[in-house]
Amino acid sequence: MSHSTSTLGTSPFGPLPYGPRMQRLLPPLYRAFGDVNRYAIVPLFRAGLGSLFFSSPFAHVMVLRTTGRKSGRPRYAPLGYAILDGAVYCTAGFGPRTHWLLNIRENPAVEVLLPGGAAYAGVAEEVTDPDEWLRSFREVMKGCGVVGGLSIGENPWRVTDEALLAKGRGLPVVRVRPTGVAAGPADPGGGLWVVLTVISVAWLLGWLRGQTRGRGGAA
């Protein structure tokens, strides 16, 4: 989709629809999000705990797995999302230079892990139809909950189409259509077994302590 970029601010990420203060904050925010994603959000999803932390009025978050365009290794990006017409939609909030977006331009084969544990393989495509972009961008902002409202500075349920176009100008929207089944947290390679093992060991240790105390009291 092409929008005029005459009103967009400039940043290391290219023209984006943010004010000067937000433009200055983008680089440190990008680094902070990278650390939180790598050490907190992605491990929780891979452990099968996404639904406990990332499905709420504050934000609905999925994890998008791409293939690094330079490394060829898996790369994970937690993103707000919406489900429309059997596909998942998400937005590149840091604009056309967002790393995961550059990855899918090189290799559109991706995997999606939803907070409820569902996982599937799919093909990612940038939305080019203006009507589809507007509809899906609004739904993604709704799915982001409070975070979505703060991002655009408007209520995504009530903002007019014209205002929403201005707020989202320059932000690519991506559609992921499912093509197959991917490995979820409880499947081979997933991390749910770690959580279950920790819970089981903790229960067993508690039971053994109870037995030991019981014997000591009986003596």
Q: Average the pLDDT over 36-64 and give the result.
A: 67
Tokens found for residue 45? 């999803």
Query: What CA–CA distance (Å, rounded) separates 166 from 46?
Result: 36
Domain boundaries, the chain: 20-186, 189-219
**Token pair for 207:** 């039971």
How far is 55 from 62, CA to CA, in rounded Å? Answer: 9
Residue 63 CA to residue 213 CA, distance in Å, equals 45
pLDDT score of 7? 43
pLDDT in tens, 139-157: 999 988 777 777 778 888 8
Measured CA angle at 159 (ends 156, 165), to 5 deg: 95
- Give the pLDDT mean for 112-135: 91
Angle of CA points 27, 32, 36, to nearest 5°? 150
Residue 109 has pLDDT above 50, yes or no: yes
Cut 0.95: pTM above it:
no
Select from 2.60.120.10, 1.20.140.10, 2.30.110.10, 3.40.50.620 the CATH code of 20-186: 2.30.110.10
